[in-house]
Amino acid sequence: MIEDRLQAELAEIASLGLSRRRRVLESPCGRIAAVDGRKMLNFASNDYLGLAGNAEIARAMADGALHWGAGSGASHLVSGHLAPHDRLEEEIAAFLGFPRALTFSTGYLANLAIVPTLAGRGAAVFADKLNHASLIDAVQLSKAQGADSQRYPHNDMAALERQLAASSAPTKVIVSDAVFSMDGDLAPLPLLFQLAERYDAWLVIDDAHGFGVLGPHGKGSLAHFNLPFHPRLLLMGTLGKAAGVGGAFVAGSDIAIEYLLQRARSYIFTTAAPAPIACALSKSLTIIKAGDALRANLFARIGQLRDGLAGLRWSLLPSLSAIQPLIVGENEAAIALSKALWERGLWAPAIRPPTVPKGTARLRISVSAAHTAADIEHLINALKELA
């Protein structure tokens, strides 16, 4: 049968205990998620500011749909670039202090646009080993076009410098997550920038988990380090996490953004996101800018969790971000812990290899500004009891 090989592979995935299943939410994403008729306290989303279910944003989307229609009808360069898209790009660029921004339907597509478009034949890409899958795939596309690529050990600036120094490629592109999605730690952005300067490289930063959360007014990881705009920087941020909606942006110089617009296949050959999404994102951006109280609560809850779990049998990685991974070790133990929490009404997913290195299976606890002190207390008590 034509499906035999697929069936065998699926059976193998299942036998290794690596089959994934989707849980169906019977409520909007929020602090509480209804699943299988139960109300779960949600530590599993990337909704860091609690905006996914925000009524003002939902209303902006609904009004946007009534005014602009549901669909954009075409790709941006054909006839699908509507006024709300254009306004959103200007708002994002102004907020970040970058000359220009381009929006995408997803962060995955944005990363696929940046790396292979900058780094084609003869270029060299230098990538952190723990970069997100979308950046890894983006580098593969660069390689398919004839670029060379090297990975450096996580956040190892000395190793990166050795690789840069040994390269004679005329175009060099350094690619890194700003906040690493499975560890929650930050890249040393000022050092990355210095190396990019020294070796005349582009610096591509994926701030999926920093935008809206870190830095003054939630401007993100570059702002957190006080790094202003520079033409060699391309900053990607996703809009489905802290911004609570969906999509992504790339911000950069006028020339770099114009180059992406003219050349990036994952920008050019896809239908523009519906305009109501852009309407919702404009509202979300206003809330992010004025969201210091949300961020203060988020960081208070992160601190509470870290203090509460200090000295536990399992330890949290040293993360300052909303991603707080609790390292458990073996796959079965991480799954059992996640399951035991689930039975107590707490949803914190187990992450296993190959997503993370062998022996470091973990609970990926995501903290949100929507969580209350009592929610965090509940999680701490449950983990203490289970330890």
State yes or no: residue 325 binds ligand PMP (CB under 6 A): no
Q: Pick one of 44, 130, 173, 208: the residue that binds ligand PMP (CB under 6 A).
A: 208
Exposure string over 273-311, b if 16+ CB within 10 A, otherwise e: bbbbbbbbbbbbbebbeebeebbebbbebbebbbebbee
Closer by beta carbon to ligand PMP, 179 or else 383: 179
Q: Pick one of 47, 177, 183, 185: the residue that binds ligand PMP (CB under 6 A).
A: 177
Closer by beta carbon to ligand PMP, 167 or else 271: 271
Closer by beta carbon to ligand PMP, 234 or else 248: 248
CA 244 – CA 162 distance, rounded (Å): 40
Q: Pick one of 42, 54, 134, 319: the residue that binds ligand PMP (CB under 6 A).
A: 134
Sign of the Cα pseudo-torsion (303, 340, 317, 369, in order): negative
Closer by beta carbon to ligand PMP, 181 or else 321: 181
209 marked as binding residue: yes
Closer by beta carbon to ligand PMP, 132 or else 219: 132
Closest approach, Cβ 53 to ligand PMP, in A, equals 18
State yes or no: residue 47 binds ligand PMP (CB under 6 A): no
Beta-carbon contacts of 13 under 8 Å, excluding residues fewer than 6 positions away, are 19
Q: Pick one of 176, 181, 321, 331: the residue that binds ligand PMP (CB under 6 A).
A: 181
Query: Which residue of the chain is nearest ligand PMP when measured via CB?
Result: 107
Q: Which of residues 232-291 bind ligand PMP (CB under 6 A)?
A: 238, 240, 248
Q: Which of residues 92-111 bind ligand PMP (CB under 6 A)?
A: 106-108, 111
Closer by beta carbon to ligand PMP, 248 or else 382: 248
Beta-carbon contacts of 81 under 8 Å, excluding residues fewer than 6 positions away, are 72, 272
Closest approach, Cβ 247 to ligand PMP, in A, equals 7
Closest approach, Cβ 164 to ligand PMP, in A, equals 23
Closer by beta carbon to ligand PMP, 304 or else 366: 366
Closest approach, Cβ 217 to ligand PMP, in A, equals 21
- Both tokens assigned to 319: 């993360």
Residue pointed to by tokens 């996490």: 241
Q: What's the N-to-C CA distance of the chain in angstroms? A: 48
Closest approach, Cβ 340 to ligand PMP, in A, equals 26
Q: Pick one of 117, 206, 267, 347: the residue that binds ligand PMP (CB under 6 A).
A: 206
Closer by beta carbon to ligand PMP, 45 or else 181: 181
CA 149 from chain center: how many Å?
Answer: 22
SS3 for 221?
Answer: helix
Closest approach, Cβ 174 to ligand PMP, in A, equals 16
SS3 for 1?
Answer: coil
Dump the DSSP string for 129-170: TT--HHHHHHHHHHHHTT-EEEEESTT-HHHHHHHHHH---S
CA 148 – CA 128 distance, rounded (Å): 15
State yes or no: residue 132 binds ligand PMP (CB under 6 A): yes
CA 134 – CA 140 distance, rounded (Å): 10
- Taking CA atoms, 234 is separated from 4, 30, 211, 214, 228, in Å, by 44, 31, 14, 18, 12
Applying CB under 6 A, the residues found at the interface with ligand PMP are 106-108, 111, 132, 134, 177, 181, 206, 208, 238, 240, 248
